[in-house]
């Protein structure tokens, strides 16, 4: 078990280098938000110390697969937690030492409990009702606001018409 001093050190390190982020996954019944916490640093030993204190998460190279670091850059490492239970554990440990700004971001991510607040309305504010939704291939997670789609189509027709008229006048 980590001491209060070690946890305070970990909170300070997370305050300076860490992040909270929503991980949005598309499921059959709609999108779900899962909390992600992470740190990125070029000093692997510091990340390993943080990992030992916190007790959860995984450390991996920051650049994987098609992501390539530049030749003049140091190797970077990333500690991440994507499991809600583990992320809540880390937040409970670090909470007393985190700034109000970090706590507000954590609350924004963790209050959601797995459902996106925006699933009731499209980004432009139209309600997702059965009469106002296009669905593809019978999948409930693939949907679009009918009002927005029709508006985009109308604007595209106007642009084509305007473009055609300007080309004819040349």
pLDDT computed for residue 111 by the predictor: 66
CA diameter of the chain: 79
pLDDT computed for residue 67 by the predictor: 57
pLDDT computed for residue 115 by the predictor: 44
Scanning the structure block, which residue is given the tokens 């909390």?
35
Q: 4-116 has which fold?
A: Endonuclease I-creI (3.10.28)
pLDDT computed for residue 118 by the predictor: 46
Instruction: Please tell me the distance from the alpha carbon of residue 40 to that of residue 168, in angstroms, as a whole number.
Output: 56
pLDDT computed for residue 117 by the predictor: 45
Counting as low any pLDDT under 70, the low residues of the chain are 27-31, 64-70, 111-119, 136-142, 169-170
Domain residue limits, the chain: 4-116, 130-169
Identify which of 138, 119, 137 has the alpha carbon closest to the alpha carbon of residue 129: 119
């Amino acid at each position: 078990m980590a001491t209060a001093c070690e946890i305070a050190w970990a909170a300070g390190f997370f305050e300076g280098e860490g992040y909270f982020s929503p991980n949005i996954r598309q499921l059959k019944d709609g999108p779900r938000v899962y909390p992600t916490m992470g740190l990125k640093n070029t000093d692997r030993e510091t990340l390993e110390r943080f990992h030992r204190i916190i007790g959860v998460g995984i450390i991996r190279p920051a650049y994987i697969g098609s992501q390539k670091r530049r030749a003049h850059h140091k190797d970077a490492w990333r500690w991440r937690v994507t499991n809600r239970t583990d992320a809540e554990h880390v937040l409970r440990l670090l909470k007393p030492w985190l700034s109000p700004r970090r706590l507000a971001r954590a609350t924004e991510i963790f209050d959601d409990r797995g459902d996106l607040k925006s699933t009731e309305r499209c980004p432009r504010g139209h309600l997702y009702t059965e009469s106002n939704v296009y669905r593809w291939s019978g999948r409930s997670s693939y949907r679009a606001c009918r009002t927005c789609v029709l508006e985009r189509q109308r604007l595209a027709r106007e642009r084509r018409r305007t473009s055609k008229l300007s080309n004819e006048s040349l």
